[in-house]
A = this chain, B = another copy of it.
Amino acid sequence: MTLTINDFADLRSAEALEAALRAIGAERYHSNHPFHHLLHSGQLDKGQVQAWALNRWYYQSRIPMKDAAFMSRVVDPDLRREWSQRVVDHDGTREGVGGVTKWLRLCTGLGLDEAYVRSEQGILPATKFAVEAYVHYVRERSLLQAVASSLTELFSPTIIKDRVAGMLKHYDFVDEATLGYFQARITQAPRDSDFALAFVKQHARNEEERQQVCEALLFKCDVLWAQLDALHHAYVLEGGIPPGAFEPVREQGRVAA
């Protein structure tokens, strides 16, 4: 069964909304994507894992910008303060700590050159387009939808546990220090998603607004899914790497020199 937006016509209560959101996650969250199955079960080579980490670097780097864009639209100091913790989690309380740095450590731990990663040169265009779409969404839609688009975090603890266990088991080029980013997320993600879920349940006051919440989560699932489609096409299937994007063997020799 493929859910569509029309399947959420019955949203008569906050509880019905939560059930609908969980149904969307069960079907659409990127834990279901074939690329993740390959990643977590040890079926990718080092270059493919590098491509994944490199492209998701771009996503990670834009998340605190997305959160700041959200805060820039909020009048209520309590909501801004609550949300600011997300930026702190990514940027750290001082240089060298925080999620963005940890993701960079994942990249360099996989053998990527830090300057190359930071240059963003090898990122797939499709990654950039999907991530920018998310940032624009949070800038332009209602605050309710902006909050709702973060609700994919509801489904991330499971995938993070599968990822850490699977990658440690299957890849000899990965260790616990390299995967440090995910350790923090296991506690941060539920705190963030609990808040966001309570927020949308309280602030979506009629069926139309609950529909908008569902649409926001569907949109965000598309953003995540499209990033894996692009990786899968470029680095797993015979689709070919788009001109200019990261090429595992050659680029590395060049940039690591």
- Could you tell me which A residues sit within 8 Å of B by CB distance? 2-4, 27-28, 34, 121, 124-126, 128-130, 132-133, 136, 218, 221-223, 225-226, 229-230, 232-234, 237-240, 242-244
Q: Is the interface of A mostly helix, strand, loop or mixed?
A: helix
Of listed A121, A132, A218, A244, residue having the most chain B CB within 10 A: A244
| A243: contacting residue among B27, B124, B126, CB under 8 A | B27
The CA of A232 and the CA of B242, in the complex, are separated in Å by 12
Cβ B230 vs Cβ A229 within 8 A:
yes
Decide: A229 and B237 in contact? CB cutoff 8 A.
no
When the two chains form their complex, are residues A129 and B121 in contact, meaning their CB atoms are under 8 A apart?
A: no
Contact A34 B244, CB 8 Å, known A226-B129, A233-B233: no
Would you mind naming 20 contact pairs between A and B with Cβ atoms under 8 Å apart? A2-B244, A3-B244, A4-B121, A28-B244, A34-B240, A124-B226, A126-B126, A126-B130, A126-B226, A126-B229, A129-B129, A129-B132, A129-B133, A129-B223, A132-B136, A222-B242, A229-B233, A229-B239, A233-B237, A237-B238
